[in-house]
Chains A and B, each alone.
Chain A
Amino acid sequence: MNEHQQTLFEFMRQQSDKLAVQTLQHIGLTFISLFIAVLIGLPLGIYITRKKQISGFVLGVAGVLQTIPSIALLGFMIPVLGIGAKPAIVALLLYALLPIIRNTFTGITGVDESVKEAAFAMGMSRWQVLFKVELPLAMPVILAGIRTATVINVGVATLASYIAAGGLGEFIFGGISLNNTNMILAGAIPAALLAIIFDFLLSRVQRLNFKKVRKVVIAAPVIIILLSTLYFIPSAYGSKLTAGFTPEFMGRQDGNLGLQSKYGLKIHTIVINDAVMYKAAQEKQLDVISGYSTDGRLKAFDLVVLNDDKKIFPPYYAAPIVREDALKKFPLLEKTLNLLAGTITDSVMTALNYKIDYLHQTPERVAKDFLTENNLWKPAKNGHDGTVRIGSKIFGEQYILASMYMMLIKGYTNYDVATKTGLGGTKICFDALTNNQIDLYPEYTGTGLLAILQPSAATINTLHGDKDSTYNYVKNEFKKRYDIKWLQPIGFNNAYALMMRQQQAKKLNIKTISDLKRYLESK
């Protein structure tokens, strides 16, 4: 996307609108959820000091909530709350709950018994003891809890972009998938700054003496509510159909940018993570999504690929890419990896992915079944002639391919294998390869071209979106620039594709992207 090497500052200035919106959304998300968490956590924390029998249970539940991985928690939310602000806020609030409840509880139970007794002895009622004695004395501890919760929230709020709730995560995750360091930093630096600033401010509040804390505690809800309003919930309406695109797709010439320039497609778009996008489409939260043509969920969720009639999506043929030094170190490696060349077609790959995504079979099992059916499987030799390190990106297809390569290497050679699967996006995987942390991983020609090499538009045009010329171009350039070799393509083309629910597409009579544009423009 960048023709010349842009500086971070240039990027931030160019994207200042987006940056401002994302930052405000980020602050808003953090504080809306914090506010609700305080509203729930504080009374709950007080309540369990009065009902000690249930305190263990409540703290236990809050503790368990906190250990749920954020992505999983966001995933659970979608069927119940859909996508967008609501599930993000709920998820954030669940994370913020534990420190608030726990610190309220410890703060209040930590108040000196004799001071409490004095309060009763002076003739204070239960409520007066709570508000005049227990809460003020517990306040530093409670504030420490709120401080922890705030910092957690600033961090977790980056994940809100996974479910179309905005925030600085849009830049961070967009940047990771686009291999755009400036974009990552443009999101990560403000997010880190927010965490540091809020942490610092709250630490100051914590250290104030009791008098001033009283004033701050009164001002706090006002401040929190003001900060919360920074988050204007991204509306899910305003267009006949809603599209959900991954951050990666949003920033790519062969993605949303191409849809806009080549097709002139104008559709209300929200940014969403790949992991939840298909589900959201099935749940009718989204109508059009960006996906991959071999994705198993196409089959699982009854989606249909729209024909790319203007050919904006370049070919994405998969092939293993390997460090040249690894090929020298392991002479049998190339031949072994090439056993898979040409064996897997688009439909086969979709079927394999379907087994993972929908039938929930393990990648190992799917890989072994496939190899066995194609008479490629051999039992492992358990050799010890060095260890080949295989990487993979964080989705099913890559897991399957990594498993197949592992089985082939173990069965046909005396090398041992170590796998480093689930390496985030292209950037993480490719950096691991160039930094000699892995020896190989499966890559796609289109990704190599557009995300890694990033040639000028003129160069891209000379390739005409052609399968072979693209493959040859990346092969040569990778060899020249990185000393990395593209082995023979595996066979399938996992290109970008726009997809819709089969039923809806049929009803609206949309078969191609141009049909979609026409429908959107019709009154």
Chain B
Amino acid sequence: MIKAEHLIKTFGQTTAVNNISFEVNEGENLVLLGTSGCGKTTTLKMLNRLIEPDSGTITINGNNINAQLPEDLRRGIGYVLQNNGLFPHYTVEENISVVPNLLKWDKKRTRERVIELLKKLHLSDNYLTAYPNELSGGQQQRIGLARALVANPPVLLMDEPFGALDNVTRSKIHQEFKALDELKRKTIIMVTHDVQEAFELGDRIALMDKGKIVQMGTPSDLLFNPINGFVSNFLQDQRLQLEFRAIRLTDLWEHLPGGGKTTSKSSLPAETDVWTTLEGFKFHNGESMSVLHQQKNELKTITFGQLMAAFSEHKTQQPHE
């Protein structure tokens, strides 16, 4: 759906983006990952023409973005800023209504949509008349998201949307983010320098360094088939956690013991990743959990020990490492 080809952007002496090409499919969530200053924001801003590339082309649905007025282009693309960028002189309602007003929606429609979004983002109506400085960082972040989503744009650009939050709030918002139906159908390009976040939220990850994409692929591609030392080093610190996130129970299926007793509790889908399953043990009072593999139509009941054993068996069979 979005296709970027040979993008180059220099600021004076620094080449911020150095010949980048990528494609994002409809409904996909691509994460641009990399250390500070590697050109993530610059790449993102070229997609809605906040920055014009020196060379290269960008098309959305086959249309060159330069064919449109930048204002019109931007009204059709949701944008969440690195540090939320809410308008301090507007109330929450006015902040969220900016794009509908620019698109000249009628007042009633705008209002209904704003209230609908607030509900989805678990914010009370009381906040409609509040000003951004009266909100917590997490609430501001949600308003920023609502503002980007309000006109239901097919494409959403997010620049470190959860960067300014503490870890607890962040993982809570991550959960909500994944659960939000509004986002399911959208094509999302998200920037982060947080590896965890990239693995948790990205369908694919583009790992960037010094203005170039070093490797682009699914989380497990990056984790288990790194193309060079840079990629594996980049993921090294949090390797185990990332593997827990990248590996799903389906990957371990053959190593998990069959049969077992069926507990009365509802079962986990086998697409669940190891990390989430481990978290499940934390909240699950019983010793074991049931997992349902829908395609194979198999139900397995596993304990914590069995899960860990399966995980290490799976690991030893991996080609690299």
A interface residues with partner B (beta carbon < 8 Å): 112, 114-115, 117-125, 128, 133, 136-137, 210
Q: Choose among A118, A128, A133, A137 the residue that contacts B81 (Cβ–Cβ < 8 A).
A: A118
Q: Which residues of A contact B50 (CB under 8 A)?
A: 117, 120-121
Docked-complex contact B88 and A122, CB < 8 angstroms: no
CB closest chain-B residue, reference A116:
B85
Looking at the assembled complex, report how far the CB atom of B169 sits from the nearest CB atom of chain A, in whole angstroms.
Answer: 20
A interface SS class? helix
Counting residue pairs across A and B whose Cβ atoms lie within 8 Å, the total is 56
Given contacts A136-B89, A137-B88, contact A122 B83 (CB under 8 A): no
Docked-complex contact A122 and B81, CB < 8 angstroms: no
Q: Cα distance A115–B140 when bound, in Å? A: 13
Q: Does B86 contact A (CB under 8 A)?
A: yes
Return the CB mask of B75-104 against A: 1 if under 8 Å, else 0.
100010111111111100000001100100
Q: Cα distance A123–B86 when bound, in Å? A: 14
Docked-complex contact B88 and A115, CB < 8 angstroms: yes
Q: Cα distance A115–B73 when bound, in Å? A: 19
Q: Cα distance A124–B90 when bound, in Å? A: 15
Q: Cα distance A123–B103 when bound, in Å? A: 9
Given contacts A114-B81, A117-B81, A118-B81, contact A124 B102 (CB under 8 A): yes
Docked-complex contact A210 and B81, CB < 8 angstroms: no
Interface residues of B in 28-78 (CB under 8 A from A): 48, 50, 71-75
Looking at the assembled complex, report how far the CB atom of B91 sits from the nearest CB atom of chain A, in whole angstroms.
Answer: 8
Q: Does B147 contact A (CB under 8 A)?
A: yes
Looking at the assembled complex, report how far the CB atom of A134 sits from the nearest CB atom of chain B, in whole angstroms.
Answer: 11
Q: Choose among A118, A119, A122, A136 the residue that contacts B75 (Cβ–Cβ < 8 A).
A: A122
Interface residues on B, range: 20 to 34
Docked-complex contact A114 and B71, CB < 8 angstroms: no
Docked-complex contact B79 and A121, CB < 8 angstroms: yes
User: 14 A-B Cβ contacts within 8 A?
Assistant: A115-B87, A117-B50, A117-B85, A118-B79, A118-B81, A119-B98, A121-B74, A121-B81, A122-B74, A123-B72, A124-B102, A133-B87, A133-B89, A136-B89
Q: Which residues of A contact B74 (CB under 8 A)?
A: 120-123
> Given A117-B50, A118-B79, A122-B99, 20 more contacts at CB 8 Å?
A114-B82, A115-B85, A115-B86, A115-B88, A117-B81, A118-B86, A119-B87, A121-B50, A121-B81, A122-B102, A123-B71, A123-B102, A124-B98, A124-B102, A125-B71, A128-B102, A133-B89, A136-B89, A210-B90, A210-B131
Given contacts A114-B81, A118-B81, contact A123 B88 (CB under 8 A): no
Looking at the assembled complex, report how far the CB atom of A419 sits from the nearest CB atom of chain B, in whole angstroms.
Answer: 58
Docked-complex contact A122 and B89, CB < 8 angstroms: no
Q: Cα distance A120–B79 when bound, in Å? A: 10
Q: Cα distance A117–B79 when bound, in Å? A: 10
Q: Cα distance A136–B86 when bound, in Å? A: 14
Q: Which residues of A contact B86 (CB under 8 A)?
A: 115, 118
CB closest chain-B residue, reference A121:
B79
Docked-complex contact B89 and A210, CB < 8 angstroms: yes
Q: Which residues of B contact A112 (CB under 8 A)?
A: 85, 88
Q: Cα distance A118–B88 when bound, in Å? A: 12
Q: Which residues of A contact B75 (CB under 8 A)?
A: 122-123
Looking at the assembled complex, report how far the CB atom of B163 sits from the nearest CB atom of chain A, in whole angstroms.
Answer: 12
Looking at the assembled complex, report how far the CB atom of A471 sits from the nearest CB atom of chain B, in whole angstroms.
Answer: 73
CB closest chain-A residue, reference B132:
A115
Looking at the assembled complex, report how far the CB atom of B244 sits from the nearest CB atom of chain A, in whole angstroms.
Answer: 35
Q: Cα distance A115–B83 when bound, in Å? A: 9
Looking at the assembled complex, report how far the CB atom of B160 sits from the nearest CB atom of chain A, in whole angstroms.
Answer: 12
Task: Please name the 10 residue pairs, one residue from A and one from B, whose CB atoms are nearest each other, closest first.
Answer: A118-B85, A123-B75, A123-B74, A210-B89, A121-B79, A114-B85, A123-B71, A136-B89, A122-B98, A122-B99
Given contacts A114-B83, A128-B102, contact A121 B88 (CB under 8 A): no
Q: Which residues of B contact A119 (CB under 8 A)?
A: 87, 98
Looking at the assembled complex, report how far the CB atom of B81 sits from the nearest CB atom of chain A, in whole angstroms.
Answer: 5
CB closest chain-B residue, reference A210:
B89
Interface residues of B in 168-190 (CB under 8 A from A): none
Q: Cα distance A210–B129 when bound, in Å? A: 13
Looking at the assembled complex, report how far the CB atom of A368 sits from the nearest CB atom of chain B, in whole angstroms.
Answer: 65
Most buried by B among A112, A118, A121, A137: A121
Q: Cα distance A117–B75 when bound, in Å? A: 14
Docked-complex contact A122 and B147, CB < 8 angstroms: yes
Q: Which residues of B contact A133 (CB under 8 A)?
A: 87, 89
CB closest chain-B residue, reference A115:
B85
Q: Which residues of A contact B99 (CB under 8 A)?
A: 122-123
Looking at the assembled complex, report how far the CB atom of A195 sits from the nearest CB atom of chain B, in whole angstroms.
Answer: 30
Looking at the assembled complex, report how far the CB atom of B183 sits from the nearest CB atom of chain A, in whole angstroms.
Answer: 18
Q: Cα distance A287–B102 when bound, in Å? A: 63
Most buried by A among B75, B81, B85, B99: B85
Q: Cα distance A210–B132 when bound, in Å? A: 13
Docked-complex contact B71 and A124, CB < 8 angstroms: yes
Q: Which residues of B contact A123 (CB under 8 A)?
A: 71-75, 99, 102
